[in-house]
Structures are given as structure tokens and as C-alpha cells.
A and B are shown apart, each in its own frame.
Chain A
């Protein structure tokens, strides 16, 4: 397991670092994590884009006008339903649940690669740099027509890595 990444951020390493995402109004503060399922939006640049806003049935995401505004997450309203994950064209949103179990949390993220994992599978979970953080277990894979070919994968993992885990390591190609 590699050390927590200390990298220069989105314009140099490609991924926004923790400082950059924490500064945005879409990343929920730690005090809200005990609520349970919650959206984490890592949108750090102003581009004209707002499907996250209209996708939220609770009205918990606000972009407003101009549509270049960074999305603001109202963590009180957010119920972590995950509708925003597939709505985001940048795949910049994931859902995390800090309270899943005593020692475990869950993460639900978009995964648009083949093969997609199956329920029960053990996978490696990665941080924003693609480095392996810990192992995780696939609890659920949702690939509905509504999500328009963006499968959503939910994994449980050890709570100590809660903030660092963002996605899973891509699976090797299966030979048919």
C-alpha cells in the first residue's frame, strides 16, 4: 500500500489533490459523514455544465447561473441516492457511506470499463492517482438503461481508508 499521495494537483498530475477538492463547495465536510450515504463531488474547474443539479431529486446540488459555477452540495439535504453519479459527464461524483458497519465503509463509483466486476468479487481500491490503497469487496453492480451505459459499482472497505479511496483498479481483460 502506497503512502497518501502528496502531488501538485489537477494541472500537473491530472488529478485534483485533497486540498483542491476540499476547497470546493461540492465536497462535504467531515461533520456530515456520520449521516450515512453522502455524495462527494470533485468538480474543481469552472466549465459550463449543470446536469448534476437537475439530477438530484432532493435539490441538494446547486449550480445556478452562470452554469460555470462549481456545484454546491447541501449535505443536510443529500440522502446519498447516487442519481448524480451517472448524470455527471465528467464522472466526478461518487457516494460514500461512513456508517456502513463498525469498521467498514462503502463507496459507489462510476466504472465504464469492460469487464465490469461482479457481486462478491474482491478488488483493489485506488486513490485519485490510481495507486492501490486497500482491498475491497464488491457489494453491488448497477447497470441500468437509465444510467446510460455508466455502471455503478459499490464496494465495502476498511474505514481507516475512508477519505482516500475513490475508485477501483481496472480489471485485466478477460480472454473469451
Chain B
């Protein structure tokens, strides 16, 4: 049976950073990813990132992705692409299907789960029509595959995903008819919403979609206002002439492997719902199983990379590649960068929630059984 010291499941920003940190210390790392290209969602982020120089501020997501891939190559990290992990056992054995045809088992001394998150759906009459898609799907098609979804879109959701993808749709030559937001205030960063607004795109707060219609694809949508109890206000409807509707209503951690492993879980709606419980070393309640990135609570690519570094450092240290002191010094540097990212009015909320996880006494199911 194929063996590796550290198996990283998921080759996105968190997984690659975990692999890089562990390999830097000398560990033998295998990264397994189901896609034909590594990098997760990173290569779709064609905008410049925020933060400081250490966070690679001002660098576009695609370029950060390329840097990570370069380093992965230099460190001789083994990467399996087109490889789906269909199960992980408590013995740290991993079942993989490669290229859709070969199934095999790999044994690791440590596992790092970095499987990311998936887009939520929004259910409304007409939501199944071709042309209704996740905002991330539109982003994949325009930035990776260089094809446009249509001529004129409606964006549902004004969080960072909604406004960034709207901007990228404009860059791809697609018109954005409107961005609607059910809450009374816009969710994304002001600089993102401002970019899109001065491009002439209107925002409608306290609005939602009532229905979409079309024969075999989206041909139009009806928008309706919401009152202060989030109820639709009859008579406030108006029609938008659109052929595409993008849904940007949040992400949910992809935690199937953690569930099936029997990890303890947390439930925090603002971080995406259910996700595996972990300590400050990014280790779950199952010794030797680590986790990082959006899987541990939906945040940003920058925080995913830092959490990946923590998991990689701690997993390598637990195998003896770092002394406790060396590990603590390295982790402290990462924590400083993480805390800096989790500051300001947007970041502080997330910081408090992530601290809540570390302070809790081991997951929600544990408490219930106690």
C-alpha cells in the first residue's frame, strides 16, 4: 500500500500552504485533489488581494496560486490530480479513485483535511432554469474557461463574492443589470461595491427575487422589496430583462469526510454552518487528523493560507520534524498574520467566532452527550 507521512486532502490555498510548510520541515507530503488543476478557487480570483506585504497584498489571486504551485514543485511535493477521496478511516487510511478508473488505498501518518466549501442555493420559482447558477460557477466559466454565461445578469447577494464576481463579469464583457441584497445594508467591502457602482451597476437593498421565467432558459426575473420583517411587499415588484441569474448567498463547508470519520463538529451559522471542531494547532478531536481553510469556517483565501500553514507546521512537528519550541515560534508568526487579517469591523466578527471554537469544550455533540 502506498504510504505518505502527511496526506493533504484538497489542493486549494489551504492545502497547498499546509503541504509547503510541512515539506519545508522535511516531511514527505502527498496532496490529493479531485480537479485536473490544483489551486482550488484561487485561480479564479483575478483581483488584487488585500492585507499587508506578508499577506501578499496587491498580488492577484492567480499569481499567488502560481507562486504556490512553483514552491510545491521546488519542494518535491507529490500531487495527485483527478483523484477523488471517497473515504478516510480512523487508521488514517484514505480511499482514492484516480482518473475515474483506478481505486486504491493510501496510508498516512497524519491527514490534513482542506476540502474547502461549496456555494449555497437559493430556492425561488424558476431557480432550476438553465441560466440560474452559483456566482462561483459564473466566475469559473469566465475566468478559467473564458466563456460568458449570457449578455445580462442579475446578481443575488452583495457579499464579497457577489460584488467581486459582478466586477469580473463586467470585465468579461457581460452586463450586470442589478445586484440585489435581502438585508437592509450591503454586505461586501465598500471598495468592492464602489468599483461596481461607479461602473453604473445599481444596488437594491431589502430586495429579493420573487421568480424567474423562461422557456428553456432564463428570460427574465421579477424583483420584490422586503419590509423590516423580511417579508415581501406586494405591489413593489419590478421586472429585469436578464438571461442569467447568479446566486451569491453564502458558502457551506464541505465536511463529508470529517463527518464520516467521526470528527466532533461546531455549528456557527456566520461561518457557514457545520464544520469540524479543532484546537489552535488545527487538529480535530481525532489525533493526527488536522483541518484548515474554508472547511473550518468560511472566511477568505488569505486566512485559508495561514490556517493551512498552521496545520502543516503542527502536523510536521507532531512527527518530530520540529521541536515544541520551534513549532511555537513558527505558529506565533502565523497567528500574528491571522489576527491581523481578522481585524477591523469585518474581520473582528470572524475573529471572535474562531476564538469561540478554541475556547469551547470540544464540539457540540460532546456537550450534548455530557
Residues on A facing B (Cβ under 8 Å): 10-16, 42-51, 54, 66-68, 87-92, 112-114, 126-131, 148-150, 166-167, 169-170, 173
Contact = CB atoms under 8 A, between A and B. Distances in A.
Contacts of B201: 14, 130
Interface string B26-53: 0000000000000000000001111111
B330 interface: no
Contacts of B195: 90-91
Interface residues of B, number: 39
B345 A92 contact: no
Interface in B59-109: 60
A127 B50 contact: no
Contacts of B198: 15, 126-130, 166-167
Contact of B345 (A46, A112, A149, A150): A46
Contacts of B347: 47-48, 68
A167 B197 CA distance: 11
Given A12-B203, A169-B200, A89 B49 contact: yes
A15 B340 CA distance: 26
A128 B194 contact: yes
A14 B203 contact: yes
Interface stretch (B126-134, B183-191, B359-367): B183-191
Nearest to A47: B344
Interface string B138-172: 00000000000000000000000000000000110
Given A48-B50, A89-B49, A113-B170, A129 B343 contact: no
Given A48-B52, A48-B343, A54-B53, A91 B191 contact: yes
Contact of B48 (A15, A148, A173): A148
B344 A51 contact: no
A66 B363 CA distance: 32
B205 interface: yes
Given A89-B58, A126-B200, A16 B346 contact: no
Nearest 5 pairs of A and B residues by beta carbon = A90-B191, A130-B200, A14-B197, A89-B48, A68-B344
Nearest to A11: B185
A175 B294 CA distance: 40
Nearest to A131: B200
B171 A90 contact: no
With a 10 A CB-CB cut-off, give which of B170, B200, B205 has the most chain A CB atoms.
Answer: B200
A49 B51 contact: yes
Contact of A46 (B58, B205, B344): B344
B193 A14 contact: yes
A48 B58 contact: no
Nearest to A68: B344
B197 A67 contact: no
A92 B194 contact: yes
B340 A128 contact: no
Contacts of B48: 89, 148, 150
Most buried by B among A45, A66, A88, A127: A45
A91 B191 CA distance: 7
A45 B345 contact: yes
22 contacts: A12-B185, A12-B186, A12-B205, A14-B186, A14-B194, A14-B203, A15-B193, A42-B194, A45-B344, A48-B55, A48-B347, A49-B52, A51-B52, A67-B52, A88-B191, A89-B50, A90-B50, A90-B191, A90-B192, A114-B171, A129-B197, A148-B48
A64 B339 CA distance: 16
B268 interface: no
B173 interface: yes
B194 A47 contact: no
A1 to B, nearest CB: 15
A155 to B, nearest CB: 14
Nearest to A10: B190
Contacts of A112: 171
A90 B197 CA distance: 13
Contacts of B52: 48-51, 67
Interface string B310-345: 000000000000000000000000000000110111
Contacts of A128: 194, 197-198
Of the candidates A47, A66, A113, the one having the most CB atoms from chain B within 10 angstroms of its own CB is A47
